[in-house]
Amino acid sequence: MNEKEKQKYVKYAEGRAEKSPLLRDCIWAFCVGGGICVFAEGLFGLYKKMGIAEEIVKSLVPVTLIALTALLTGIGVFDNIAKRAGAGTLVPITGFANSVVAPAIDNKAEGWILGLGAKIFIIAGPVIAYGTVASVVYGVVYWVMRML
């Protein structure tokens, strides 16, 4: 495809694409993401009222969010929520859980090794890798700065 055809296609695609109400989408994503965070705070308070030690509660809340997101992804509910909420569902812990579970479900028919095992981290894998590398680099820089 030459440059002229590309420009013609881009113009055609832009003319056919539905315009997104950006401000409304941003506000809605903020509200949904905030709602997830409020829910997490509610879990925190509930677990504390149950007499669970705060150190354990700090681990229990993310585990609960991950489990709920995995369950909702598995039964197909989380995708419907994400379609309506957009980026609001990408609050790190819920978005990460969804990005691990969704490919696993999509590829389970290919078997445990070539399907589930090979594809489970197809989306989340780069996040894990770059996050690990970034934390190591940050740690080294911090260590060097403290030595000076």
Between residues 54 and 121, the one the model is more confident about: 54
d(C-alpha 29, C-alpha 95), whole Å:
13
7, containing H or E segment: helix 3-16
Instruction: Kindly report, residue by residue over 21-57, the tens digit of the pLDDT.
Output: 889 888 988 999 999 999 999 999 999 999 999 999 9
84, containing H or E segment: helix 77-85
Question: Looking at the chain, how many residues does it have?
Answer: 148
d(C-alpha 48, C-alpha 54), whole Å:
7
Banded model confidence at residue 1, pLDDT cuts 50, 70, 90: low
The pLDDT value recorded for residue 101 is 84
86 with 107: CB under 8 angstroms? Answer: no
Query: ∠ at Cα 124 (38, 109), nearest 5°?
Result: 110
d(C-alpha 9, C-alpha 3), whole Å:
10
127 with 99: CB under 8 angstroms? Answer: yes
Provide the 8-state DSSP code for 17: S
